[in-house]
Amino acid sequence: MTARNEYALITGASAGLGAEFARQLAAAGQNLILVARREDRLSALAEELRAAHKIDCQLIVADLNEPGAGAQISSTCVSSGWQVSFLVNNAGVAGPDLLKDRDWTAQQTFFQLMMLSVADLCHRMIPNMVERGYGRVINVASVAARVPRAGGCNYGPAKAYLVALSEELNLTVAAQGVHVSALCPGFTHTEFHETAGLMDMKNNMAKWLWYNADVVVRDAIKGVEAGKPVVVSGRLYRWLDPIFQSVWTRRLLRIKARPE
């Protein structure tokens, strides 16, 4: 059980990996602050977790597409006296194709959610963790960050930024008691592919490529506690990752897209 005013703040807690982070951290006795846009989902989850684990569970309804969301979340925490000692930057979507989708505003909104909102919450919350000598931060990236490939040109690069950000933050603050990890899941059963209109792709893929959210979240929590800057979840993806990182494999994988 954590101190009365100490909380784990989870973005994107209304579904998928975020809701699973909430369940596992609540089971470990952590008080929670759940953040997302769908208030009904957050309220139902908070009620379930308060009843099951006797923790305090607060909600902040926020749209991380908005540049002011980080300031709104941080000021709500400060004015309510909630100390954030565990931060999970998890909210995310598949997003637009950088070249094919011609609406620049939609591209900027994607960058705001996937990169700027994460940097913003790290910027606002990590200095306080350093001051107090303890903190845990998980930035949810992806295996897509680990190997460049043709197509999209947005999701993989945005997640690669989170890996680079987490590695540098971890080098900077680990000695002061604050562990920062980038979590790199492979394909995971959540609502992500349905929201992105990718169910046909999902249904046509081999089942053994897919993990359940509970495995991914367990790996993430174990990894951040151990101080790992990059946590690749799932046995299959942990085995593939060093192969993806090898210069020789990268040469082989450098498959150029064919002209359409």
Distance (Å, rounded) from C-alpha 114 to C-alpha 154? 10
Q: Examine residue 37 and tell whether it contacts ligand NAP (CB under 6 A).
A: yes
- Supply the minimum distance, in Å, between the C-beta of residue 4 and ligand NAP: 27
Give me the phi and psi of 256, to 5 degrees please. -80, 140
- Supply the minimum distance, in Å, between the C-beta of residue 177 and ligand NAP: 26
**Binding pattern for the stretch 66-105 against ligand NAP, x by CB under 6 A and - elsewhere:** ------------------------xxxx------------
Q: Examine residue 12 and tell whether it contacts ligand NAP (CB under 6 A).
A: yes
- Using an 8 Å Cβ cutoff, are 185 and 163 in contact? no
- Supply the minimum distance, in Å, between the C-beta of residue 1 and ligand NAP: 26
Instruction: Please report the beta strands in the chain, taking only residues with DSSP state E, as ranges in sequence order.
Output: 6-11, 31-36, 57-61, 83-89, 135-140, 178-184, 188-189, 211-212, 230-232
Distance (Å, rounded) from C-alpha 137 to C-alpha 152? 28
Q: Examine residue 188 and tell whether it contacts ligand NAP (CB under 6 A).
A: yes
Residues composing the chain: 260
Query: Quick one: 97 or 134, whose CB is closer to ligand NAP?
Result: 97
Q: Examine residue 195 and tell whether it contacts ligand NAP (CB under 6 A).
A: yes
Query: Quick one: 41 or 238, whose CB is closer to ligand NAP?
Result: 41
Burial 174-209 (b: 16+ CB within 10 A, else e): eeeebbbbbbbbbbbbbebbeeeeeeeeeeeeeeee
User: Which of the ranges 26-34, 36-44, 78-86, 222-230 carries the binding residues for ligand NAP, by CB under 6 A?
Assistant: 36-44
Among 14, 31, 74, 83, binds ligand NAP (CB under 6 A): 14
For strand 211-212 and strand 230-232, is the pairing parallel, antiparallel, or unpaired?
unpaired
Q: Which residues bind ligand NAP (CB under 6 A)?
A: 11-18, 36-38, 41, 63-65, 90-93, 113, 140, 142, 185, 187-188, 190-192, 195
